[in-house]
Amino acid sequence: MQRKMFAVVLLISAGLSGCASIGPATVARDRFDYIAAISDSWKAQMLLNLVKLRYADAPVFLDVASVITQTGVQGTVGVTGSWWQNPFSSFAGVTAAGTYGEKPTVTYVPLSGEKFARSLMAPIPPAAILNFLQGGYPVDVVLRLAVHSINGIRSRFGSGTRAREADPEFYPLVEKLRAIQASGAIGLRVKKTGDQTATLILLGKHPNPAADADRADVRKILGLSPEADEFNIVYGSLAANDKEIAMLTRSVLEILTDLSSYIDVPVANVEQKRTYPSLAPEVVNGAPLPPLIRILSSPQRPDDAFAAVPYRQEWYWIDDKDFASKRLFTFIMFLFTLTDSGEKQGAPVITVPVG
């Protein structure tokens, strides 16, 4: 009988010792689970703030500063028994109990303060616009999104009292710039003179029959020199000469405010003066121009959404099958990460017990 009880205890102890190291096994699971959760919450936060801006509500941004998770396993084993010489009076009992627990600690930091507010309202430098183009983002989308005007030619803006349609020359301009970009005949050069750094855009020096006509049209629309190939990029409304391109860029807050104008808000909310009506689609070459982004609304939660948030009595969402809207929304989230939030406040020191 003693040998049997010893064998049982030895078997249970071996089983528990085999499960003693659980940390490495949780890394693959927990890491991707937390990444997915943070990503989904980030998308929901950005979408909610777009909706709030449409209703003149104050946007609030909250950053996940740190995620600490503690995983632990505890187990107990007990053996009881009694026996006598009489073989019919022996008794033995074994008890075992175990617990598994996970205790995540998530630290949130509100994005606020003077530096964050200033960076949110500061215009994006024209050099950053060109870096986006150099990185492969379509020039027509970037200019529609982030620029008020180029050499005085204004783009569309859809928010409140500043709402306006684009100038007639704007869409032919971005269409030809898109064709030049697709042909590879547009480039970027940075020139440093002393402490001054200048960014120049190149329309190409090598013959390119596919782009020559478009380059000539771009020069004509912007009032640029037909002989020059390099043009200095500056911030402003109007260029100082025919070898300069002046970009009046938008701030991140202006970009978000403009995008909120594309939200499909319920008609009742417009009639009740809760928000302003949406602009009619612009017509280019006899066809309605697709919006930069489509954000839909419905009384019920959507089934197939890339991102969805409730606000008041409605759900607002981006269709998961709308690739163009998803790509632009992701670009906005990336653009927002470039906003300088100032000095980060130190996260609280957290002591995680071991064992």
Q: How many helices (H) does the chain have, and how many strands (E)?
A: 10, 13
Helix pair 252-260, 23-54: axis angle to 10 deg: 70
Per residue of the chain (355 residues), what is the pLDDT tens digit? 555 555 555 555 555 554 455 666 666 667 777 788 888 888 999 999 999 999 999 888 887 777 777 666 666 666 565 555 555 555 556 666 666 666 777 777 777 777 778 888 889 988 888 888 888 889 999 999 999 999 999 999 988 778 889 999 999 999 999 988 888 877 777 777 666 667 777 776 666 777 788 888 999 999 999 888 888 889 999 999 999 999 999 999 999 999 999 999 999 999 999 999 888 888 888 888 899 999 999 999 999 999 999 999 999 999 999 999 999 999 898 888 766 554 555 545 444 454 4
Q: How far, CA to CA in Å, does 335 sit from each of 85, 144, 199, 216, 298?
A: 83, 15, 20, 32, 28
List the Cα angle 343/349/354 in 5-degree steps.
145
pLDDT number for residue 351: 47
Give me the pLDDT at residue 328, please.
Answer: 93
Output the six-digit token pair for 329: 């929304």
Distance CA 144, CA 155 (A): 6
Can you give the pLDDT at residue 116?
78
Helix H or strand E segment including 71:
strand 62-82
Q: Whole-prediction pTM value?
A: 0.77
Q: For Cα atoms 263, 265, 266, give the angle at the middle one, nearest 5 degrees.
A: 160
How far apart (Å, rounded) are the C-alpha atoms in residues 231 and 238? Answer: 14
